[in-house]
Each structure stands twice: as C-alpha cells, then as structure tokens.
Amino acid sequence: MAEVPGTLEGWYALHDFRRLDWPRWNKLSRAEQEEIVAEAAAFVQHAESPAEGSSALYSIIGHKADLMFIHLRPTADELGALERAFNRTRLAEYTSQPYSYLSVTELSLYEASARGGSDDPEELKKNPFVQKRLKPAIPAVPYVCFYPMNKRRGEVVNWYAADMEERRRMMREHGSTGRKYAGEITQMITGSMGLDDWEWGVTLFGTGMLPIKKLVYEMRFDEVSAKYAEFGAFHIGVRVASLDDVLMG
C-alpha cells in the first residue's frame, strides 16, 4: 500500500452557480427589478463582510451559468446558511442552480513541513504561509477560473499507487510552473474527497484572462498533469462590482 500523505484543512468553500431566467426577468417592470436587485445587493454586501471568511460574486461568461458566488467560511454549516439565505431572496425566484461545488481549503503536510520548518501539525497551522493557504482572502482581481479535477487511478497509471517520493517530486515540478505566474495569478486548492464528485477544486484568481489560459496550458505539460490529471468543466467569470451592471444593463 502506498503511503498516505497527511493534510491540513482550513476554511470550507462553496462555489454556488446560478442561472437567471431571462425571459421571466425581462417581463418585470423596471421598478420591480430595482427592488429585487437592491435586496440581492444587500445579501451580497452582508456575505462579503463576515466575521471570519470571505465571499465574492462573479458574472460567468458563457452558457454554463450567469452568476457564481464563492463563499469561504470556518464551517460547512455557515455555507449552508448562506445558500439558504440567498434562496430566500426574490432574485432566487428567477434563478436556477445548474451547479455547485463543496470543498475545503487543503495543504499537504509534506508541503507545509517544507515551508513551515516543522512536522508538528499544530505548530504548522501557526505558520504565516500555512495560514495564508488554509484561510485565504479572495483577491481583489477581476478574473476567476474554477474547475474540478481528479488524479487518475486506472489500469495503466495510478496516482494513489505511486511512491510518496515520486509524487512529491512531480508536485514540486508542478508548483514551480505555477510560481512563474506569481503576481498575475493566485491559486486556491480545495479538497473535496467525500464532499463532492471530484477530488479537488482549483480556483485561479487572475489579473487578466490570458495568464490563466497560459498557466493552465503550460501545466498540461507537467508530468503530474500529462500522466495523472483528469479535469472537469471550466468556468470563467468576471468580478461583479455592482449587480446593476449585470442585471439591469
């Protein structure tokens, strides 16, 4: 049996996608739309100002959704409360939920130990690098890309049967690719085994859309991706400064 690497977990994450029923929405009067948007904006403002955690709203480009909320909170219960709170708004009556993803911020113990200089999980959690990874702030940049992924466990190659040192080597090489884009892209890795249909969620916050494309493309050539990675649907969004801009045109 291959060695199982330990992990550290931080905040729970919910990627909540919403699709607007535009024909029904467009039948509303301007006054009704303004009232509904004002209520939804109050929900967004409340969500983006928690005691602990972080939230942000994005306008999704393409057919997969219209809006995406990203919520980070200390407990999964708080995420469920946020989801229900939005569902009680009038705007929710004009939306469906085509997709959502539940996960938790995660950092492997071997990466945390390499950066934190300790093997004690409790001591590592106090390290600033580890704290930043487990309790991240959502960056104030305009673009986001979210996708889920698995590591292959098939007949030919199986990530979970590979030697620990080999996995570490491949992940170090993979990480070196990501560090080339420091300043342009901030990456958030969340674990979802037992929580959702894929094994990890990857959220890329970018200053531009092309750096996101180039990073994902370049990482395809890393051994860990070329041999072992399987990817779900990609969702691209733009940070919403005002719901008026998205819903009122």
In this structure, what DSSP letter does residue 6 have? P
Q: What is the 3-class SS of 7-28, one letter each residue?
A: EEEEEEEEEEEEEECHHHHHCC
Better-predicted residue by pLDDT, 118 or 166: 166
Is there a contact between 140 and 241 (Cβ–Cβ < 8 Å)?
no
> pLDDT over 70 for what percent of the chain?
98
Question: Which residue did the predictor score with more confidence, 21 or 115?
Answer: 21
Domains of the chain are: 7-247 (3.30.70.1030)
215 is written with which tokens?
Answer: 């990073």
Distance CA 134, CA 177 (A): 21
Give mean pLDDT, residues 189-217: 97
Closest CA relative to residue 47, chosen from 63, 58, 33: 58
The single-letter DSSP state of residue 88 is T
Among the options 12, 147, 181, 228, which is catalytic?
147
Contact predicate 18/67, CB 8 Å: yes
At 84-135, the pLDDT tens digits run 999 999 999 999 999 999 999 998 887 777 776 667 777 888 888 889 999 9
pLDDT band, very low/low/confident/very high, at 213 (cuts 50, 70, 90): very high
Task: Give strand pairing partners of 21.
Answer: none
Name the burial class of residue 50, with classes exposed (0-12), middle (13-18) and buried (19+) by CB atoms within 10 angstroms of its CB: middle
pLDDT at 156 over 90: no
Q: Is 110 a catalytic residue?
A: no
The pTM is what? 0.91
Residue 123: other Cβ atoms inside 10 A: 14
Q: Quote the mean pLDDT of the chain.
A: 93
Task: Look at phi and psi of residue 232 and say left if phi exceeds 0, alpha if psi is from -120 to 50, else beta.
Answer: beta
